[in-house]
Structure 1
Amino acid sequence: MITIISENIIEEQKQQEFITIVKQMIEKSRKEDGCISYTLHQNTQNPLYYCIIEQWENEQAISQHNNTEHFKTLVPQMKKCRIEQKQANHFRIMDI
């Protein structure tokens, strides 16, 4: 399983727009083969700081996700709401 954590700082006046776009992404992505989890989190100390946390079965599922029509349409819309993207990292769960 692979976890993606995408950290974003959103313009204050564009928060609701961002949430609406991410909601669409979540609804569509959760229906994809290989999607285990797809959630949006808001920082408790900084309400402009959001993390999208995705869990996928494997790299192939991520690649297929990145080539979907909704990904290609919604990601550019999300970017327009950002002040900056802090990071987008991929992690493998350690089986220890």
Structure 2
Amino acid sequence: MIIVFGNVQIAPQHMEQARRVANEHVQRSRAEPGCISHAFYEDPERPSRLVFVEEWESAQALQQHFAVPASGAFVRQMEELAASPSHIKLYQATELPFPRAST
């Protein structure tokens, strides 16, 4: 599984538009093959900061997502609305069982 963490500081005057663009991107991405989950959140400690969390079945599925023209358009739109450059990190992960407390 590939996990994507991203964040971008949006210029305050562009927050409404950024929410709309992000929501459209998330809804479209969720329908793509290999997408396990895709969401964005507003950071409660940093106004105007959007945080993206994604799970993909494989690196290949994520690469296909990046190749979708609408994904590139989304990145360009976020760059135009941002107050500073975005940050994206990719992680390859293996799901582990949640440890249960002994009673």
TM-score (norm 2): 0.85
Q: Where do residues 1-96 of structure 1 align in structure 2 (5 Å cutoff)?
A: 1-96=1-96
Report the CA distance between 1:44 and its aligned residue: 1.1
Report the CA distance between 1:93 and its aligned residue: 2.2
79-88 vs 36-45, which moves further: 79-88
Report the CA distance between 1:21 and its aligned residue: 0.6
Larger strand proportion, structure 1 or 2?
1
Aligned to 1:83, the other structure's residue is in SS state coil
Aligned to 1:89, the other structure's residue is in SS state strand
* Stretches of structure 2 lacking an aligned partner (at least 5 in a row): 97-103
Looking at structure 1, the residues matched to 12 and 28 of structure 2 have their Cα atoms a distance apart, in angstroms, of 25
Conservation of the 8 A alpha-carbon contact between 1:4 and 1:88: yes
Report the CA distance between 1:94 and its aligned residue: 4.2
CA distance change for structure 1 residues 68 and 86 in 2, over 3 Å: closer, same or farther?
closer
How many equivalent residue pairs?
96
CA distance change for structure 1 residues 93 and 76 in 2, over 3 Å: closer, same or farther?
same
Looking at structure 1, the residues matched to 64 and 20 of structure 2 have their Cα atoms a distance apart, in angstroms, of 23
The ranges of structure 1 where at least 4 consecutive aligned residues each deviate by more than 6 angstroms after the TM superposition are none
- Considering only aligned residues, what root-mean-square deviation do their CA atoms show, in Å? 1.3
Aligned residues with identical type, % of pairs: 23
* Stretches of structure 1 lacking an aligned partner (at least 5 in a row): none
Conservation of the 8 A alpha-carbon contact between 2:3 and 2:90: yes
